[in-house]
Structure 1
Amino acid sequence: MASNETRSRVTVVGSLNMDLVARAPRMPHPGETLAGRTFAQVPGGKGGNQAVAAARLGARVAMLGCVGADGNGAQLRAGLEAEAIDCSAVETGKEATGVALIVVDDASQNAIVIVAGSNGEVTPATVARHEAVLASADVVICQLETPPDTVRAALAAARRLGKTVILNPAPATGPLPADWLPLIDYLIPNELEAATLTGLPVDSADDAAKAAAALRAAGARNVLVTLGARGVFAALEDAQAKLYDAPTVKAVDTTAAGDTFIGGFAAQLALGESVDVAIRFAQRAAALSVTRAGAQPSIPTRAEVGASA
Structure 2
Amino acid sequence: MRNQIVVVGSSNIDLIAQLSHLPKPGETVGDAAFSQAHGGKGANQTVAAARAGAEVSFITSLGNDSFGQSMLQDFKRIGINTDYILQSKDTPTGTALIWVDTRGENSIAVAPGANHKLSPQYIDECRILLSGAELILLQLEIPFETVEYVIDLAASLGKKIMLNPAPARKLERKHLKPLFNLTVNETEAAMLSGMPVETQEQVVEAGRYLLAMGPEMVVITLGARGVFYLTKREQKMVEAYPVKPIDTTAAGDVFCGVLASQMVQNKKLADAIKYANAAAALSTTILGAQPSAPNQQQIKDFLDQYEF
- TM-score of the aligned structures, taking structure 1 as reference length: 0.94
Matches within 5 A, 1:1-309: 9-93=4-88, 94-173=90-169, 175-239=170-234, 241-309=235-303
Report the Cα offset of residue 152 of structure 1. 1.2
Q: Distance in 2 between matches of 1:270 and 1:218?
A: 23
Q: Distance in 2 between matches of 1:35 and 1:236?
A: 48
Amino acid at match of 1:100: A
Q: Distance in 2 between matches of 1:103 and 1:88?
A: 33
Report the Cα offset of residue 238 of structure 1. 2.5
Q: Distance in 2 between matches of 1:159 and 1:279?
A: 24
Mean CA deviation greater in 215-224 or 18-27: 215-224
Secondary structure of the residue aligned to 1:266 is helix
1:93-151 C-alpha deviation (Å, 9 max, x unpaired):
23111111111111111111111111111111111101222122211100000111100
Report the Cα offset of residue 45 of structure 1. 0.2
Amino acid at match of 2:282: L
Segments of structure 1 that go 5 or more residues without pairing to the other structure are none
Q: Distance in 1 between matches of 2:178 and 2:233?
A: 18
Secondary structure of the residue aligned to 1:264 is helix
Secondary structure of the residue aligned to 2:184 is coil
Amino acid at match of 2:188: E
RMSD, matched Cα? 1.4
- TM-score of the aligned structures, taking structure 2 as reference length: 0.94
Q: Distance in 2 between matches of 1:161 and 1:277?
A: 28
1:241-288 C-alpha deviation (Å, 9 max, x unpaired):
221112111111111111111011000111111211110110111111
Q: Distance in 2 between matches of 1:127 and 1:238?
A: 35
Q: Distance in 1 between matches of 2:55 and 2:157?
A: 18
Q: Distance in 2 between matches of 1:172 and 1:36?
A: 31
Segments of structure 2 that go 5 or more residues without pairing to the other structure are 304-308
Report the Cα offset of residue 82 of structure 1. 1.2
Secondary structure of the residue aligned to 1:88 is coil
Report sequence identity in percent: 39
1:41-70 C-alpha deviation (Å, 9 max, x unpaired):
110000000000000001011000101111
Report the Cα offset of residue 181 of structure 1. 1.1
Report the Cα offset of residue 220 of structure 1. 3.0
